Each structure stands twice: as structure tokens, then as C-alpha cells.
Structure 1
Amino acid sequence: MPTVSTREKIIEKADTLFYEGGFEATSFADIAAAVGISRGNFYHHFKAKDEILDAVIARRMDRTRMMLDTWQAEGAQPRDRILSFIHLLITNRTRIMAFGCPVGTLCSELAKLEHGAQHRAAQIMGLFRDWLTGQFRALGMDQQAEARAMHLLTWSQGVAVMSSAFRDETFIEREVAAITQWLDDIIDDQTRHEGRICS
């Protein structure tokens, strides 16, 4: 098993602390303590908190790309691949109920702070948007593909926010079922539309 460098450990712990406690509330000391290193050793790797934030965003971008690539490879049909995204709400429900969506919460916090890194954090959301747009295009919904992708992203973010507010697991399950039904309905509509064109 490859050895994890101190720098990688710092980025990993900072990622967790930024998610669970917020970027602004997390100090150098908090991260150093979580990694188990001295402040001096910490400053050897990162001189400023914004440098850590940039590394955390890059890590999340890489992990998101890997996840999307996995869904693309494993999903036999566009519907299956879209369901992989929808089911994130179920898979990560415990952490979502406790801390919200990791991407959404970071984007919101950086926007409130008017932080220069906000647009880079938003690029993670853009990865999901573009990938989902591709899936809806593969379903034949060319003109509506991006709108469908944005609707699904908006719905999932709303579920994450309300789940964090009310800590209601059954709410997540109901919404995931409703989103899945919405997906199947628009696929059925698309199939009927294509049938009318061909007949």
C-alpha cells in the first residue's frame, strides 16, 4: 500500500474539517492537530490557509472526476448512470443530514465570504452539471439536456439542505423516490415523442 505523504494527510484532514466545521472556522492549529504534526512542520507544506483551500478544491475535483468516470464505465444505460448520481443522497445520507452537501456547503460559504476561490469551488458543481447534461443528451433530450441537468442538481441540493435542517431520513428516501419517478416520467415522455416522430 503506498505511503501517504504529510502534505496529502494535511489536505485530507483539511477537506474533512472544512466540510464538517466550515472553512472560515477551521484554523491552521485545528488541521495540524488533526494530522498530528507541529505548526512548524505544517508551515513547511502550506504558508497560507488559501493554499490549503486550493489543494482541497483540487482534491475534490479529482475525486469527482474519478466518481463520474466510474459511473460512466459501470452504468449500462444513461438512466442507470443518472441513478448513480441520484442515489448519492441515500449513500451519503448520514453525513448529508449532519453537514449538508460537501460541494453545496463549500460553494455557499465561499460566496458569503466573497472569497476568490468561490468560482473554482463552483467548477465542481459544473462537473456534475456537464456530466448530467451528457446523460440527458444520450437519452435524446438534446434541447432540454442542460435544463434537465440543472433541475436535477437543484432538486438534489434542496434535498440536502432540508435533510440537514430536519435530520429526517424518511424525507430523503421519499425525495429520492420522487426524483426517480420524475426521471422515469421524462424518459417515457421522450420515448413516446420519438415514437410519434417515427410513425
Structure 2
Amino acid sequence: MTHSKTSRRSSGKRERLAAAAAKVLHEQGVEQTTLADIARAADVPVGNVYYYFKTKNELVEAAIDAHAQSLRGMLGALDALPTPQDRLKALLNGWVEQRELTARYGCPTGSLASELDKRADGLDEAVAKVIQDLIDWATAQFRAMGREDCRELAVALIAAYQGISLLTNTFREPELMTAEGRRLERWIDSLA
């Protein structure tokens, strides 16, 4: 077996573990999740986890990186849309499409940020950067709409999403997300 094939397999296993960590941490939370849970979800023998990640915190950090990569991919796709209003509304639609998952587990990144904030290991700062990247992107969209209050509008949009995610999860009512998505679309239209 050549070195490049070995690297690809190793890289694939590491990526599977990071993706599994993101999923399992979302579903169970950091404190309730074990390395064995993540290994099982990634279909990797638990002993192999330690080859890629020495500690649970390293796996949590990999999950945060997976969230960041997913966000970058999503925002890159949204950037292909013609207008900032289209991009913002497509972001909302993506959130609404995930309403069943949100009703069951909450916002993947927001829930993780809330949980990590209670710890003193610095991972809270890493997940905050993911949310900051989303706010920065939304700020650029509102700026492209000619809004001088672009930062405030971006924070309001992300805060509205985080709030409705919490309520959707708390009450296990996916339609709360749908209704808020429609309201936020009207709000975006009113700002143009």
C-alpha cells in the first residue's frame, strides 16, 4: 500500500470521527457523550480513536472544526445566489428545513456553544468563532443591501434564529421555526 493511500484512509477515518463527534455531541451533549459513542457512530474501533484524538477535548475541537467547515460550505453555496436578500432568505430556508432536528436537539452550534460556555478549557472561544463567522457573513449581506446598521441587523437575525431554536427545542414544536422563518423573510423584505 502506498503512502498516499494510507494518508487518504487515515484522513477519511479522522474526518468520519470528527463528523460523528459533531452529530453525537449535538444529540447527547458533551458531558453525556463518551469516546465509545463517537467511535460507534463513526464505525471505528474505539481503540483507534486514540490514534487520531488523544482526549475528548480534541474530539470536541474536531467537532467544532466540522461545524466551521459545514458553515463555510453552506455560505459558499449561498454566495452564488444573485442578491443579498436571496442569500439571507436561503439561509432562513435552510434553518426551517432543519426544524425537525432542531425540535429534537436544538441548534447544533448554539447548543454546543451554550454547553461549552460552562467550562474553562477555551473551547467556548473556538465555537464562538463559528458563530462570529456567521454574523460576519450576515453583516456583509446587510451591508450589500446598503444598510448602515448592517452589524446590528446581522446580530438581530442570528439572535432571532438562536431564540427560535431554543423555543422549538423546548416545546418540541417544529412549526415555531416555520412561522419565525416566514416572519424573518418579511422582515428582510421590509429592509430592502
- Tell me if TM exceeds 0.5: yes
Q: Is the 8 A contact 2:99 2:175 kept in 1?
A: no
Q: Quick check: 1:179 aligned with 2:166?
A: no
Aligned pair partner of 1:128 in 130, 134, 150: 134
Q: Is the 8 A contact 2:99 2:178 kept in 1?
A: no
Looking at structure 1, the residues matched to 66 and 37 of structure 2 have their Cα atoms a distance apart, in angstroms, of 19
SS of structure 2 residue aligned to 1:66: helix
Q: Cα offset for 1:185?
A: 1.4
Q: Is the 8 A contact 2:17 2:39 kept in 1?
A: yes
Looking at structure 2, the residues matched to 185 and 35 of structure 1 have their Cα atoms a distance apart, in angstroms, of 45
Aligned pair partner of 1:41 in 39, 48, 54: 48
SS of structure 2 residue aligned to 1:88: helix
The letter for the 1-side match of 2:98 is N
Looking at structure 1, the residues matched to 48 and 185 of structure 2 have their Cα atoms a distance apart, in angstroms, of 49
Looking at structure 1, the residues matched to 27 and 87 of structure 2 have their Cα atoms a distance apart, in angstroms, of 28
Count of matched residue pairs: 184
Match of 1:146 in 2: 151
Aligned pair partner of 1:60 in 53, 67, 76: 67
Q: Quick check: 1:89 aligned with 2:95?
A: yes
Q: Cα offset for 1:34?
A: 2.4
SS of structure 2 residue aligned to 1:37: coil
Aligned pair partner of 1:32 in 31, 39, 63: 39
The letter for the 1-side match of 2:45 is S
SS of structure 1 residue aligned to 2:79: helix
Looking at structure 2, the residues matched to 158 and 39 of structure 1 have their Cα atoms a distance apart, in angstroms, of 36
Superposed CA RMSD: 1.6
Looking at structure 2, the residues matched to 62 and 89 of structure 1 have their Cα atoms a distance apart, in angstroms, of 17
Q: What do the CA deviations read for 1:12-52 (whole angstroms, capped 9, x no partner)?
A: 11111011101121111212222333332221221111111
Larger radius of gyration: 1
TM-score, normalising length: structure 1: 0.87
Match of 2:110 in 1: 104
Looking at structure 2, the residues matched to 37 and 65 of structure 1 have their Cα atoms a distance apart, in angstroms, of 27
